[in-house]
């Protein structure tokens, strides 16, 4: 452990001791509910955030909600400390501008805003601190997290197919060559050669005429993906349009197929939904990256909950 970390731990221990001594000697009904880096989060901080004035009111609030608000206080503290390390700051002018934006958007005066905050148990200074945190968070996301976000059409299409469209909406059209097992010598070797020809560009109707085995070519139009045989469903799940599928073994022989078209009944097509999907995917992905970032912050800074 480096000297700086040892020094910080000694200082923190001293602060904890002094605060505990102060609690006993002064008879103050307060205690530490969390340590976040260099910050001590007190019970009084938690009660203020929960808009309660005494311990009796606090006991009426579910423990899960108390934990949730405490996590938010820890998050706010860690982001503030990380911003300081990164040289990120918030000017009072930036907070003023955000407040003006809120007032203009709601067509209200400062007096009306103060009165509205008062009804929520907040002062204007409390509100300024909330906005300060939001700006710090936005700046950290912009600098530390957003550069790690990348979006491609392939990712969006995969998101669309796996998260938006279900098997009942998914309909596929495909060409298939079925070769029935006649138990003749070398049957499986012949099939492998046929499949190799298909991979090299031979059409399935041509292969039907060339094989000496009993074979049938057919085109299947717009069938529900959920209605496919398990073997075909597994083989087709990750295929793109006009792509040759893997060689499929079934009870009566083999099938070689080409996926021709994918449609989603009752849903916008991928192209139609693309821009909307991009917004949704970006929001979800940014949130995931942000949560990962918070997890790393809790490793970088010492965090202990005492609720």
> 196 in a domain, yes or no?
yes
**Looking at the 3D structure of the chain, how many domains does it have?**
1
Residue 29: what pLDDT? Answer: 66
Q: What is the rounded CA–CA span in Å between residue 257 and residue 241?
A: 12
Residue 160: what pLDDT? Answer: 87
> 21 in a domain, yes or no?
no
> 223 in a domain, yes or no?
yes
Q: Are 150 and 94 in contact (CB under 8 A)?
A: no
Which stretches in the chain have pLDDT values below 70?
A: 1-29
Residue 138: what pLDDT? Answer: 96
Q: What is the rounded CA–CA span in Å between residue 200 and residue 222?
A: 26
All residues at 6 or more sequence positions from 38 whose CB lies less than 8 Å from its CB, including other chains: 8, 12, 81
**φ, ψ for residue 162, nearest 5 deg:** -95, -30
> 107 in a domain, yes or no?
no
Total residue length of the chain: 307
Q: What is the rounded CA–CA span in Å between residue 70 and residue 47?
A: 10
Considering the entire predicted model, what is its pTM? 0.69
Q: How many CB atoms lie within 10 A of CB 45?
A: 19
Residue 266: what pLDDT? Answer: 81
> 178 in a domain, yes or no?
yes
> 237 in a domain, yes or no?
yes
Q: Are 79 and 85 in contact (CB under 8 A)?
A: no
Residue 201: what pLDDT? Answer: 93
| Token representation of residue 134 | 């939001």
> 273 in a domain, yes or no?
no
Q: What is the rounded CA–CA span in Å between residue 177 and residue 171?
A: 19
Range of the domain at 195: 167-264
All residues at 6 or more sequence positions from 190 whose CB lies less than 8 Å from its CB, including other chains: 211, 212, 213
| Token representation of residue 58 | 């606090």
Q: Are 172 and 236 in contact (CB under 8 A)?
A: yes
Residue 231: what pLDDT? Answer: 85
CATH of the domain at 207: 3.10.50.40
> 155 in a domain, yes or no?
no
């Amino acid at each position: 452990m480096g000297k700086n970390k040892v020094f910080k731990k000694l200082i923190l221990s001293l602060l904890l001791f002094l605060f505990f001594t102060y609690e006993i000697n002064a008879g103050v009904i307060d205690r530490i509910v969390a340590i976040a880096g260099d910050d001590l989060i007190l019970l009084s901080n938690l009660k203020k955030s929960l808009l309660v004035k005494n311990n009796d009111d606090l006991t009426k609030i579910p423990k899960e909600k108390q934990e949730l608000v405490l996590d938010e206080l820890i998050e706010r503290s860690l982001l503030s400390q990380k911003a300081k390390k990164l040289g990120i700051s918030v000017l009072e002018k930036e907070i003023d501008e955000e407040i003006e934006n809120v007032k203009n958007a709601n067509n209200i005066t400062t007096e009306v805003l103060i009165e509205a905050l008062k009804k929520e148990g907040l002062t204007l200074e409390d509100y300024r601190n909330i906005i300060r945190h939001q700006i710090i968070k936005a700046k950290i996301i912009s600098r530390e997290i957003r550069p790690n976000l990348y979006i491609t059409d392939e990712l969006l299409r995969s998101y669309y197919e796996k998260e938006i469209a279900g098997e009942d909406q998914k309909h596929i059209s495909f060409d298939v060559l079925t070769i029935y097992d006649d138990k003749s010598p070398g049957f499986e070797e012949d099939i492998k050669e046929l499949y190799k020809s298909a991979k090299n560009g031979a059409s399935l109707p041509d292969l039907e005429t060339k094989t000496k085995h009993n074979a049938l070519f057919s085109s299947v139009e717009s069938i529900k993906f959920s209605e496919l045989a398990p073997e075909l469903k597994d083989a087709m799940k990750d295929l793109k349009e006009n792509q040759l599928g893997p060689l499929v073994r079934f009870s009566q022989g083999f099938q070689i197929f080409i996926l021709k078209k994918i449609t989603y009944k009752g849903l916008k097509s991928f192209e139609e939904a693309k821009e909307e999907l991009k917004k949704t995917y970006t929001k979800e992905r940014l949130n995931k990256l942000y949560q990962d970032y918070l997890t790393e912050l809790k490793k970088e800074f010492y965090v202990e909950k005492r609720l």
